[in-house]
Amino acid sequence: MHADPTPTEPLCAALRADLTAAGYTAAAVRAAWGAVPDDAIGRGLIGPALTALAARDDALAVLARLLFLGQPTPVTVADRALPTLTSRGLVDLGLARIDGDDLVPTALVRPQDVDDEQGSGHWWIASDLDEAARGGALPVDHVLGVGGASLTLAGLQLTAPADRVLDVGCGCGIQALRARRVAEHVTATDISRRALAFTELNVLLNGQGGVQTRFGSLFEPVVGETFDRVVSNPPFVITPRVAGVPAYEYRDGGMAGDALVESFVTGVAAVLAPGGVAQLLGNWEYRADADGLERVREWVGRAPVPLEAWIVERELLDPLSYAELWVRDGGTTPGSGEYARLIDAWLDDFAARGVTGIGFGYLLLRRPASGTPTLARYERIAQPVPGALGPHLTEALAAWDRLTAMDDVALAASTLMVAPDVTEARHHAPGEEDPRVIELRQGGGFARSLEVDPGLAALVGACDGDLPVGVLIDAIADLLDVDAAALRADLLPRVRELIFTGFLALP
């Protein structure tokens, strides 16, 4: 164990001033060491970046070595790069120690780009030294910096304004900062006091207010309170509950199997205000007698307050691949005896529950504002997604609510527009006039691709915001020489799906 950060407003303001003066942004740092070293850093290799910066002693290069790569730096050099804070101030913040003539970082402070509907900018995010900076395995109280999962969840967050948001398992605070861009008040909780200290530091470092931290597990710190939105990148990693397997606080919630995600799903309704939405990442087990998504559906059904659910499974791993992923994540070297021992522990744990696979994906849960739940989608979407999904999810929920209030007569009277990112592809055999396959492809959202028949393709192609859907269907029925009523009954349910998924838009 090691000392926690000790943030204060004056010290964080001084560090912010020095980082700003040095131009310490993600783009500037990447430009300083170049494309190949930047790619190497993504693979845990910092040597090329250190080589690229070796001849430079300007403030940007010094801070990149010290705070991005976690390398000791002479105190005199660090003081020139941190003229407002100084080396002593970095020590007082709990982010470094002085060893002889060197300032030795005990944490990283890395720039992070911000680009969403509120605009573009950047943050600085402090977290513990990573494996490359440490030169070895991580301690169990490690506080993770910004990684792939945290960026994914930040991009999933709904973009509509909110009053109160709860961040469960806040870690270094990236989700709390993202939520604060649309919310008046954010409460961030964690079972790690060290994580809470990093969140407090990052909030102050980025000049934010309106974020309160609380210590505790899941919803215990906010019993009796409700929120408009709950967001969580919880410690969902399935870890064997046996001696000798490290229990990393940032990824292990201390429960067996996928019980942590189950507890979140069954308990979150108690802290959601009517109309409130919870979003999280999670794992769920496939077992010999149970499909993984069906198990999640059963969890939702056991919530004490009825919930709407949109669950998207993005990946399915076999037990060995899952074990290897998380043993490597902890810094254990493949091929070593320790690596083999940990893999065996994971496989034994899975075998004891009859686990055949582990799903990973996104969970969106909503407490209906009134009435009974109407949204229940459990789907598997494996294709790459082109960008942040928050705007798409926000639009999809709004579309769902409008569609729920519309009967088929109202829908037929509506005018629709084809979304600007939708394209059509037609596949013909050589020499044939009529296509064998017609596909609609979505450039944004979940990048869905749908095979459609000529009737639906004609309707989508004619949706230009001019004529009502019913009029278009009648015209298509005449063109195809089919019964208009039957065509309406066939197309209108599929039009509802196209509106929800973002191919078509209501005015």
For the chain, counts of helices (H) and of strands (E): 20, 18
Topology adopted by domain 403-505? Outer Surface Protein A; domain 3 (3.90.930)
In this prediction the pTM is 0.94
Q: Which residue has the higher pLDDT, 66 or 244?
A: 66
- Which pLDDT score is estimated for 255? 85
- Which pLDDT score is estimated for 92? 98
- 410 token code pair: 């109202």
For residue 198, pLDDT over 70 is answered with yes
Burial class (CB in 10 A: 0-12, 13-18, 19+), 150: buried
Taking only the tens place, the pLDDT of each residue in 421-441 is 999 999 988 888 888 899 999
Taking only the tens place, the pLDDT of each residue in 382-423 is 999 999 999 999 999 999 999 999 999 999 999 999 999 999
Question: What whole-number distance in Å separates Cα of residue 237 and Cα of residue 253?
Answer: 8
The phi and psi torsions of 214 (rounded to 5 degrees) equal: -140, 145
Taking only the tens place, the pLDDT of each residue in 457-474 is 999 999 999 999 999 999
- Which pLDDT score is estimated for 239? 92
Average pLDDT over residues 86-93: 98
Contact 70, 29 (CB under 8 A): no
**DSSP letter at 270?**
G
Domain span(s) for CATH 3.90.930 in the chain: 403-505
Taking only the tens place, the pLDDT of each residue in 254-281 is 888 899 999 999 999 999 999 999 999 9
Contact 500, 396 (CB under 8 A): yes
3-state SS assignment for residue 201: helix
Question: What whole-number distance in Å separates Cα of residue 488 and Cα of residue 469?
Answer: 9
Topology adopted by domain 118-129+136-388? Rossmann fold (3.40.50)
Question: What whole-number distance in Å separates Cα of residue 471 and Cα of residue 477?
Answer: 10
Residues making up the chain, counted from first to last: 507
pLDDT band at 131 (very low <50, low <70, confident <90, very high): confident
- Which pLDDT score is estimated for 390? 97
Average model confidence (pLDDT) for the chain? 95
- Which pLDDT score is estimated for 249? 80
3-state SS assignment for residue 291: coil
Strand partners, 358: 285, 317
Burial class (CB in 10 A: 0-12, 13-18, 19+), 255: middle
Average pLDDT over residues 315-338: 91
Within 10 angstroms of residue 374's Cβ, the number of other Cβ atoms is 12
Question: What whole-number distance in Å separates Cα of residue 164 and Cα of residue 273?
Answer: 10
Report how far apart the first and last C-alpha atoms of the chain are (Å, whole number).
Answer: 57
Domain span(s) for CATH 3.40.50.150 in the chain: 118-129+136-388
pLDDT band at 330 (very low <50, low <70, confident <90, very high): confident
% of the chain residues with pLDDT over 70: 100
Largest CA distance in the chain: 88
Question: What whole-number distance in Å separates Cα of residue 83 and Cα of residue 17?
Answer: 9
- Which pLDDT score is estimated for 375? 97
For residue 1, pLDDT over 70 is answered with no
% of the chain residues with pLDDT over 90: 85
Alpha-carbon dihedral angle through residues 203, 205, 206, 208, given to the nearest 10 degrees: 40
- Which pLDDT score is estimated for 247? 84
For residue 312, pLDDT over 70 is answered with yes
Smallest CA-to-CA distance from 364 within 280, 307, 442 is with 280
